[in-house]
Amino acid sequence: MRAVHELSICTSLARIVEAHADGRVVEVVHLEVGYLRQVIPATLRYSWEIVVLDTPLAGSVLDINHIPAVLHCRDCDARTVIEVPVFRCGCGSVAVDVVGGEELLVTSLDLAGPRTLAPPRS
């Protein structure tokens, strides 16, 4: 069932990318994906290949920058990177706010020239 999550994300990403590509060939889609999104990078890349197959985005790849989960403690003002979803500061306080790790952003696109249609085969 996990792949359904990544397929849904990739379907949305493809719409965003196509809208911003403005008819140009997309080579690389740069993403920031937060740890708390619980996205498996290999599954996301595989899902991207499926979603863009036979579309103008075919052949493009995802470049994924992982963003750690970061908490801000309202008691001691510390910022703590967490690796397991336990929302507790190093000081022991649970009065924390998530300030990083929920991202899922297209940060940039590597584009080539305009898309061209192959001439019809005779």
Q: Any idea what DSSP says for residue 35?
A: G
Instruction: Answer whether residue 117 is part of any domain.
Output: no
Q: How far apart are CA 73 and CA 77, in angstroms?
A: 5
User: What's the predicted TM-score (pTM) here?
Assistant: 0.77
CATH number at residue 26: 3.30.2320.80
- Write down the pLDDT at residue 27: 96
pLDDT (tens digit per residue) in 44-65? 999 999 999 999 999 999 999 9
Average pLDDT over residues 106-111: 84
With respect to residue 118, please indicate whether it lies within any of the assigned structural domains: no
Give the closest residue to 66 by CA, choosing from 101, 99, 97: 101
pLDDT of residue 1: 41
Mean pLDDT, to the nearest integer, of 77-94? 89
- Which DSSP symbol is given to 33? E
Q: Calculate mean pLDDT across residues 69-96.
A: 91
Residues 6+ apart with CB under 8 A from 57: 14, 17, 18, 21, 26
33 in Cβ contact with 106 (< 8 Å): no
Report the half-sphere exposure of 25 (CA within 13 A, side-chain side).
Answer: 10
Work out the burial of residue 6: count CB atoms within 10 Å of its CB; fewer than 13 is exposed, 13-18 middle, 19 or more buried: buried
Residue 65 lies in a domain: yes
- Amino acid in the structure at residue 74: R
3-state SS assignment for residue 50: helix
Q: Does residue 120 fall inside a structural domain? A: no
Domain limits at 25? 2-112
Judge whether 85 lies within some domain. yes
